[in-house]
Structure formats: C-alpha cells, structure tokens
Amino acid sequence: MAEVLVYVDHVDGAVRKPTLELLTLARRIGEPVAVALGNGAADTAAALAEHGAVKVLTADAPEFADYLVVPKVDALQAAYDAVSPAAMLLPSSAESKEIAARLALRIGSGIITDAVDLEAGDEGPVATQSAFAASFTTKSRVSKGTPVITVKPNSAAVEAAPAAGAVEALSVSFSEKATGTKVLSRTPRESTGRPELTEAAIVVSGGRGVNGAENFGIIEALADSLGAAVGASRAAVDAGWYPHTNQVGQTGKSVSPQLYVASGISGAIQHRAGMQTSKTIVAINKDSEAPIFDLVDYGVVGDLFAVVPQLTEEIKAR
Ligand code: FAD
C-alpha cells in the first residue's frame, strides 16, 4: 500500500487535534507515515501510532526552534526523498500552507489548500473544497507530481486505529535559506483559555447586533458555557469591539466547527465564506428575514440580549 506523509503539528510533543484528523483521512488513501519536527518530536509517536501512523520520522535541530518555515520545508523534502509518498498532507494553518506551497514548488507538484474532505480516486486522492465564498463545493485532484494537500481543521473525525508507529530518525541537511531569517523578538498573546478559533469544535460569534465591545461579554459567557471559541463578524471587528484575530469570513479566518452559533449577524456572503462548512449552524437574530436564516439548522428570531443569556443559563444548568 502506498505511503502518505502527514506533517505533524505539535507543541513540545503534544500532538494537536488537526493532525489526528489528518491521520483519519490519510488512512483512506494509503499508509500514514508521520513527520514530526522540533522539540519533543519523538514524544509524538505514541499518540500518532494510536491513530494509525505506521512510522514516525523525527528530526530535532536548533533550526526548528524559531517557528521558521524553510527548515521545515527542508525536512519535509528529506522525508519526501526518503519515502516517495503517494501524497503529503498538512493541516491548513497559515504556517502549514506556506510550508506546503514551498514544498510543492520544490518537488514540482501541484497543491490543493483548505480541503474539507479527501477520498481515494483511480488517478490519485480527490479533495473536496468549498469555493467562491462557499457558493460551490468542488472536487479536484493534482495531475502532476505528488499531491500536496492542506486540510481544514474539523474536516474529519479523530479515530483510534492502532498501528506500529515505529520511530525513525530523519536526516536533514538544511539549505542556505534555512538560516537566512532570524526571529528578533516574540510577544506572546495573552491566553483567553479558550480553544483556538480555527480548531474549536464549537464557535460562538457576535456581529453588529451585539452593539458594543462592552456587550461581547454575553457572547463570551455563552462560549465559555460550551467550551467554545469566540468569533466576530467584520462589522464587529471594524467597529473595534473585538480583535481582528477573531474575525470569521472571507478576510478573516475560515472555520468548520461541529457547531457555529451566530448572534446578531446578518449572514453576508463574505461572512458565510468563513463558516458555511460548519456542521450545525444556529442563528439568533431579531430580523426573521435576515439572510443567515437561509443557512441555519436552527434559528431563533429574537433579541440576542434576551436569548443569549437564557441559553447560557440553560447550558450551565445541565
Ligand atoms: P450587519 O449586516 O449589520 O447585521 C447585523 C445583524 O444583527 C442584523 O441582521 C440585525 O437584524 C441583527 N441584530 C441587530 N440587533 C440585534 C439584536 N439585539 N438581537 C438579535 N439580532 C440583532 N464580513 C465578515 O463577517 N467577515 C469577513 O471576513 C468579511 N470580509 C469582507 C470582505 C470584503 C471584500 C467585503 C466587501 C466585505 C466583507 N465583510 C466581511 C463584510 C460583510 O459584507 C458584512 O458587512 C458583514 O459581515 C456584516 O456584519 P454583521 O452581520 O455583523 O452586521
């Protein structure tokens, strides 16, 4: 069976959920071989083996420490040369998409980004994407070289599938460019304790209807009762009520959670572009004609200042 390289997103050896989802998809098209880089790379092996990795290639070097992209491209190219895989899968983060693009260029392959599903095809893996502000769902495959595919978080379930997960050291020789950039300083963002927006299983978003930064507390309270991330429409972000890092949509982040709750958001096409692939969509809006209701699984016509706190209390009571 053909091998499929899976790039491992991890923090000091703790594998992040989107990588485990990638393993589920990788098993549909071949045998997953994971590539873990940087501090704690070898510690990822147990979790990866539990979810189907037949082999885990690891490399650690000072070059990986600073979140720079080129050393990782060098390492993935080394893994590609060693394995000759049928495909290479990466999670759709900003960093991974840059790695994927550079890698595809180096190995002379095509790239598909932001896939939301993946299946085996006669002529190679077929990826499903949501295109033109989520107006279309397309299926495509790479017709040249080894497909490099990035997959949006929450596109597949995490499934246990015990495999060998044998750890092998990957030998990497770094290109000149790997050390051409230096990180001068880093300012960590204050943690909210909430899940990362693009990876969260539940997202609760507020829009112009929230009517002020001071009112976002009720959106946050609902999010916290559900263990959710907080999102915002561009109208709310442009008004300065919530940070741009939380914007959902065409010019913000693209999310695909199990549950998306939109409060005081009209459902403009540019907002839909970032959330339309959510599995279940709930909207709270006082205008029964709001376009968001064309999209929802459950809609509440009402004042969010009455509905959202009630919902929060109800969830907390359970
Ligand atoms: P509005 O459209 O003003 O809707 C507010 C809604 O709140 C209304 O439906 C109203 O009925 C409801 N409401 C008001 N008060 C209450 C209440 N008390 N209780 C319940 N409901 C209430 N937008 C994005 O979101 N993300 C993007 O990434 C993005 N990118 C864009 C890129 C481009 C190039 C352009 C041109 C636009 C982009 N936009 C984006 C903007 C987009 O077109 C809309 O303007 C924006 O999404 C509107 O945000 P909103 O739904 O919060 O506000």
Burial class (CB in 10 A: 0-12, 13-18, 19+), 23: buried
247 is in an annotated binding site: yes
Q: What lines the ligand 1 site, CB under 6 Å?
A: 207-209, 233-236, 247-252, 264-266, 268, 270-271, 274, 284-287, 290, 303-305
Nearest-atom index, ligand 1, CA of 235: 49
Alpha-carbon Rg for the chain in angstroms: 21
The rounded Å distance from CA 288 to ligand 1 centre is 15
Report whether 108 contacts 145 (CB < 8 A).
yes
The predicted structure's pLDDT at residue 133 = 66
Give the predicted TM-score (pTM) of the model.
0.83
Cβ neighbours for 123, distance < 8 A, ≥ 6 positions apart:
141, 143
The rounded Å distance from CA 214 to ligand 1 centre is 18
Cβ neighbours for 302, distance < 8 A, ≥ 6 positions apart:
284, 286
Nearest CA to ligand 1 atom 4: 266
Would you state the torsion angle of the CA atoms of residues 22, 23, 29, 33, taken in this order, to the nearest 10 degrees? 110
Query: What six digits make up the tokens of 209?
Result: 């209807």
The predicted structure's pLDDT at residue 263 = 98
Q: What are the tens digits of pLDDT across the range 114-169? A: 999 999 999 999 999 988 766 789 999 999 999 999 999 989 999 999 999 999 99
The predicted structure's pLDDT at residue 177 = 85
The predicted structure's pLDDT at residue 176 = 86
Instruction: Please tell me the total number of residues recorded for the chain in this structure.
Output: 318
d(CA 219, CA 204): 7
The rounded Å distance from CA 128 to ligand 1 centre is 27
The predicted structure's pLDDT at residue 289 = 98
What is the DSSP code (8-state) at residue 191? P
CA quadruple 16, 17, 23, 26: dihedral sign = negative
ipTM score of the complex?
0.99
d(CA 103, CA 98): 8
265 is in an annotated binding site: yes
Where the chain has pLDDT below 70, the residues are: 133-134
Q: Which residue has the tokens 């300012």?
A: 187
Query: What six digits make up the tokens of 50?
Result: 């539990």
124 is in an annotated binding site: no
Q: What are the tens digits of pLDDT across the range 297-309? A: 999 999 999 999 9
d(CA 65, CA 88): 23
Burial class (CB in 10 A: 0-12, 13-18, 19+), 309: middle
233 is in an annotated binding site: yes
The predicted structure's pLDDT at residue 253 = 93
The rounded Å distance from CA 238 to ligand 1 centre is 10
218 is in an annotated binding site: no
What is the DSSP code (8-state) at residue 253? B
Nearest CA to ligand 1 atom 16: 209
Q: Which residue has the tokens 């109800």?
A: 314
